[in-house]
Amino acid sequence: MKKFYLTTPIYYVNAKPHIGHAYTTLAADVLARYQKKTNPDAEIFFLTGTDEHGTKIAQAAQKSGQSEQAFCDSVSGEFQEAWKKLEIDYDYFIRTTSKAHKNFASDILVKLKEKGYLVEDSYKGYYCAGCEAFKNKRELEKGNICPDHKTKCEFISEKAWFFKLSEFENKVRDLIERDEIQILPIERKHEVLGFLKQGLANVAVSRQKVEWGIPLPWDKSQTIYVWIEALLNYLSALEINHKENLWPADLHLMSKDILRFHSVIWPALLLALEKELPKKIFVHGYFTINGQKMSKTIGNVISPDELVKQYGADAARYLILTEVVFGADGDISLEKLDKRYNSELADNLGNLLNRTLAMISKYNLEKPDNWRPELEIEIKKEISEFNFQAAGNHIFEFIAKANQKIDKTKPWEMFKLGKKAELENLFFDPQEGILSVLIAVAKAIDIFMPSTSKKILVQIESGKPKPLFEKIK
Ligand code: MSP
């Protein structure tokens, strides 16, 4: 069976979605659409969702004055709403507070215990609620400050159940070295291998003092450590959908903040459970604002809603995904996005469609009988390299060239001179004609801008131009 199972991280619901989350989810959406389009016989499954247990969510719920569950329902709803507005077409949205996920996760912990991979011990050390992670003193800045969240870590001392992670150190290293789990871009693979060189300590899989979580079935004084059950979402979602046959994941997408969990703990857990390993992990960079990571905890965020209001869903999708090279960090500013919206979308693409249809109508040009455009814009290489920006550039080169061709050949003068055959050739040549280019563009951009793609084809069909993108003043 041909299949492609891809996932985004499940996002914490301590605060509303921002465009950092939208970035990963949009990338997954574009890849899923590309797979569906190019492999129509394969089963493609695109999973996203929300991560709803743990300290920081309980704290956020308390602050809001709501019960934990009511708070999670509300924020998870906002994520779903945001994805809907961005036309993200996932196959399943998992919530870790769903009964099915909770049952699945507790069954897995029982299995790990039965297999002898869990031991009871105690944890003494630092914990960052922002990362929901145990921290080594040497990872922290002066005053025990988390370098990512700029907040003080709590010193905790509690009983916990531990997973024997260290037993899997060599195996995991070997799998990553041999690209059995391929980690991309390559420098991220090196980073993980460097981290593995320091050796692995066992990792807590339960917390004693965190009530907002899934109880350990055999020790009700403990709840499952949120990261462990979060990783299990990739399996529980398949079980819930009766799609176990889609495992292993073909692609886990994420940013660099959570790579270690996915490239070390996750493979080790899967090895312990005797399950196959994910094939690929792609790690993209951070959106930053004035050089600082955009984060809910820091509070310097742009919401997907703002972008959709400003540009409409399609343009927001396209602009976010092509703003920086996928894999690198990049500073985001609305001024820069406004400029690109005006120049690439309104002036370049919108104008090409508009003036082409206007001229065809004004000059009374007719497509030849049985006219079939033959141009295809191929972005396979760019997409297989996760280079959305290069894919966008490749498509937009065709648009720019078509506009230049119009400016150079001056169809309005050809018309005056009565050069009808030349005009028809200019617009309808199956390979190079402007209309052929527009149709090829519409077909190629559908994964980025699904509605715009349809609009272009509808306008071409009807011959009636309507502005695609209103210019921003
Ligand atoms: N709940 C965990 C993930 C569990 S997955 C089993 C979590 N949640 S999160 O809400 O913090 O989301 C982190 C992810 O959101 C990043 O890995 C990335 O995909 C996305 N991003 C969050 N902030 C981002 C930026 N500023 N820039 C780019 N992506 C960002 O970690």
Q: Is residue 157 part of a domain?
A: no
53, 113, 146, 284: the active-site residue: 146
Condensed to tens digits (0 to 9), the pLDDT of residues 296-309 reads: 777 788 999 999 99
Total number of domains in the chain? 1
- As a whole number, mean pLDDT of residues 220-243 equals 98
Q: Is residue 26 part of a domain?
A: no
Q: Is residue 297 part of a domain?
A: no
pLDDT band at 10 (very low <50, low <70, confident <90, very high): very high
What string of DSSP letters covers 334-389? HHHHHHHIIIIIIIIIIHHHHHHHHHHHHTT--PPTT---------HHHHHTT-HH
How much is the pLDDT for 209? 85
pLDDT band at 325 (very low <50, low <70, confident <90, very high): very high
> Atom of ligand 1 at shortest distance to CA of 234?
6
Condensed to tens digits (0 to 9), the pLDDT of residues 144-167 reads: 999 888 899 999 999 999 999 999
Is 72 in the active site? no
Q: Is residue 251 part of a domain?
A: no
Q: Is residue 35 part of a domain?
A: no
- Give residues with Cβ within 8 angstroms of 160, minimum separation 6: 120, 121, 122, 123, 204, 205, 206, 207, 208, 222, 225
Comparing C-alpha atoms, which of 48, 17, 43 is closest to residue 253? Answer: 48
21, 113, 252, 284: the active-site residue: 21
Pocket of ligand 1 (CB under 6 A): 9-12, 20-21, 23-24, 51, 230-231, 233, 254-255, 257-258, 286-287, 293-295
Is 149 in the active site? yes
Is 131 in the active site? yes
pLDDT at 40 exceeding the cut of 80 = yes
- Alpha carbon of 168 to ligand 1 centroid (Å): 26
Q: Which of 21, 131, 263 to mutate to test the pocket of ligand 1 (most atoms within 8 A of CB)?
A: 21
- As a whole number, mean pLDDT of residues 278-287 equals 96
- As a whole number, mean pLDDT of residues 278-293 equals 91
Is 146 in the active site? yes
Q: Is residue 397 part of a domain?
A: yes
CATH number at 439 reads 1.10.730.10
Q: Is residue 99 part of a domain?
A: no
As a whole-number percent, the residues of the chain with pLDDT over 90 amount to 94
* Eight-class DSSP state of 427: H
pLDDT at 389 exceeding the cut of 90 = yes
Condensed to tens digits (0 to 9), the pLDDT of residues 74-130 reads: 999 999 999 999 999 999 999 999 999 999 999 999 999 999 999 999 999 999 998
Residue nearest (by alpha carbon) to ligand 1 atom 16: 255
Q: Is residue 83 part of a domain?
A: no
| 251 sits in which H/E element | strand 251-255
Residue nearest (by alpha carbon) to ligand 1 atom 29: 20
pTM, rounded to two decimals = 0.97
Residue nearest (by alpha carbon) to ligand 1 atom 22: 20
Tell me the residue range of the domain where 339 lies: 333-462
